[in-house]
Structure 1
Amino acid sequence: MISGMRCFICALTLWLAVVAATAHAQTVDRLRTFADCAGRLSAVMEYQWMFDGAASEQTKAQRAAVIELIEAIMPQDAGRQVLHWRITAKQAQSALLTRATFNDDPGDAAWAMQTAERFRAECTSMLLS
């Protein structure tokens, strides 16, 4: 009887550890997604300031909404990592927008703009759902 109880307690402890690890991994995945989107939307907003000022206000509001999501789930010790993710995503999105705008190859420019737009749309669509 004692042996069976120990086995049950060990199994329960293991199951709780797996559930906790899975929940943590899901939170990190969401946090990374939100950080990437905040960076991407920052790059889009800056691009719009240069080329389409009116659209930047909507992007600014969307970026603010994503930042609120980050702040809602970010652990206190994750600030540096989140900032790194945001900066990396912003640089990548900015590179795509620059490639799309200042490119001598129309096909490559179109690909870069479509890719940048797809990334932006993925971020804004999660705000609408």
Structure 2
Amino acid sequence: MGSLRTCLLIALVALPLARPSAADDALFRVFAECAGRFSAEREHAWLVGDPDADLYDDQRLVFLSLLDATLPRARARDALAHRVDVKMAHASLLRRATFSQHPEHVTRARHLAAAYRKTCLELLLDS
């Protein structure tokens, strides 16, 4: 009975060390989200001839580097799925901001896209 108790105690102590913390999980998800947002910004800028396309590409690369540095390899699929989901949602927002026939939708979408960009950029030291 003593060895079973010892094994359980070791497992209880080692379990938190083996699992990524919620903070680690949140960090790579935030970087995946920002990489997705700037991917959408870059593509949209290319489509509409916005000269900021290269800037958005540089920012996307920064967030991809941060994502790569914080990503647990076991969560790579989750990060990619999250990045693509956010990219698609942000692209939809940018389309609405550019092509909607309703001025209030255009205004709201532009403000939201700018706020999301700002939130991501505030994570960087040189912003």
**Is 1:93 aligned with 2:119?**
no
**Is 1:123 aligned with 2:120?**
yes
- Of residues 78, 82, 100, the one that matches 1:103 is 100
Inter-partner Cα distance in structure 1 for 2:28 and 2:106: 31
CA RMSD of aligned residues (A): 2.1
Partner of 1:73: 70
Partner of 2:5: none
Deviations 1:7-43 (A, max 9, x none): xxx7xx978866x599611010011100011001000
Partner of 2:4: none
Deviations 1:26-82 (A, max 9, x none): 010011100011001000000111224420111111110111111111111111100
Identical-pair percentage: 32
**Is 1:28 aligned with 2:20?**
no
Partner amino acid, structure 2, of 1:77: A
Partner of 1:3: none
Distance 1:78 1:22, change over 3 A: closer
Inter-partner Cα distance in structure 2 for 1:111 and 1:99: 9
Return the structure number with greater helix share: 1
Structure 1 segments unaligned to the other structure (5+ residues): 1-9
Structure 2 segments unaligned to the other structure (5+ residues): 1-8
- How big is the shift at 1:128? 3.2
Partner of 2:6: none
Alignment length, in residue pairs? 117
TM normalised by structure 1 equals 0.80
